[in-house]
Amino acid sequence: MRILGTGSAAPKNVLTNQMLSTMVDTSDEWIVERTGIRTRHIAADDETALTMARDAATRALAAADIPASRIKLVICASVTNELRCPSLACSLQRDLGLPEEIMAFDINAACSGFIFALITASEFLKADDCALIVGSEVLSRITDYNDRSTCVLFGDGAGAAVIESSDEPLSWITTVKGDDQMLMIDDYIHMDGQAVFKFAVETLTRSIRSVTEKAGLTLAELDLIICHQANQRILASASKRLGVAMDRFFVNLAEHGNTSAASVPIALDEAVRAGLLHKDMRVILAGFGGGLTSGAIAMRWS
């Protein structure tokens, strides 16, 4: 699999730690120390999972610079589409004027959604085919702003990638452990923070190690690791356990907070735009979250 272009979109409105401290019993100091998050983007009334997905996907398609006729598959990962039907992916097909002779559907794998979608697409695509993969979330609409243990964490945004099949096989690994106690969403997000933290550190460490081995690489050969952005301390713990320096982990959670399925593609797009990815670099993409789910991909950037 080759990534031809990436894009992302974040709402203009920003919610700072200081603003949150006027809404619930918290402080900038606590949030920064326990999570690393300083701000998160919050959708205005007229911004939805679809409008953000459209902006991110438009940018990714422009960066990929391919005719729309090459897109054979659209997969959107989200837990916050306004409608049960049509899917985000079907609405995107219409709004972006993509061909009708394709498949388009949404998946819900929470914060691992973009990784699961990338793997699904890469296994599906035939030679010369392309796919549009999007993660888009308006988590602010399912965040309880009376609950300080969750409301400081989440933000809104979207990220997208256009991929094409390539001869190089993709190394990937996924896990699923059905559990509705640690992290569950009904009208709002409910989370046992400490239990999820422990799960996150263990699963992230294990999946990065396993996918690296599967790709025939050593941890020392990894150039950049782009993980789900949930908590700075989760990334720091994984870095320590793996013995891989923090400067090889891409981190943007101070600005965005946790954007669930949008988190990995936003981080990927920001890494691309910052000029951090070069040909032949060894890159890991990794996600973990509700389900419980986890997934990691090892790829050579081309």
User: Can you tell me the distance from the alpha carbon of 182 to that of 191, in angstroms, rounded to the nearest whole number?
Assistant: 6
Tokens of 248: 């090889």
Is residue 108 part of the annotated active site? The answer reads no
Minimum distance, C-beta of residue 211 to ligand UT7, in the bound complex (Å): 19
Q: Output the residue with the shortest Cβ distance to ligand UT7.
A: 193
The H-or-E segment that residue 16 falls in is: strand 14-16
Q: Write down the catalytic residue from 111, 130, 151, 227.
A: 111
Minimum distance, C-beta of residue 225 to ligand UT7, in the bound complex (Å): 16
- For 66, counting Cβ atoms within 10 Å of its Cβ (0-12 exposed, 13-18 middle, 19+ buried), the class is middle
Minimum distance, C-beta of residue 35 to ligand UT7, in the bound complex (Å): 5
CB closer to ligand UT7, 148 vs 282 = 148
**Which residues sit at the interface with ligand UT7, rule CB under 6 A?**
26, 30-31, 34-35, 111, 148-149, 152, 193-194, 196-197, 200, 230-231, 234, 258, 260, 289
Residue type, 3: I
Minimum distance, C-beta of residue 286 to ligand UT7, in the bound complex (Å): 12
User: Can you tell me the distance from the alpha carbon of 88 to that of 70, in angstroms, rounded to the nearest whole number?
Assistant: 20
Minimum distance, C-beta of residue 84 to ligand UT7, in the bound complex (Å): 22
Is residue 13 part of the annotated active site? The answer reads no
Q: Write down the catalytic residue from 81, 130, 228, 231.
A: 228
CB closer to ligand UT7, 18 vs 69 = 18
User: Can you tell me the distance from the alpha carbon of 104 to that of 100, in angstroms, rounded to the nearest whole number?
Assistant: 9
Minimum distance, C-beta of residue 54 to ligand UT7, in the bound complex (Å): 24
CB closer to ligand UT7, 48 vs 259 = 259
CB closer to ligand UT7, 62 vs 246 = 246
DSSP label of 123: H
Sign, CA dihedral 108-113-117-120, equals negative
Residue 49: CB partners within 8 Å, gap ≥ 6?
78, 80, 81, 82, 88, 136, 137, 138, 158
Q: Is the peptide bond before 86 cis (omega within 30 degrees of 0)?
A: yes
CB closer to ligand UT7, 111 vs 297 = 111
Backbone Cα Rg of the chain:
18
User: Can you tell me the distance from the alpha carbon of 1 to that of 57, in angstroms, rounded to the nearest whole number?
Assistant: 18
CB closer to ligand UT7, 30 vs 301 = 30
Is residue 90 part of the annotated active site? The answer reads no
Active site residue ranges: 111, 228, 258
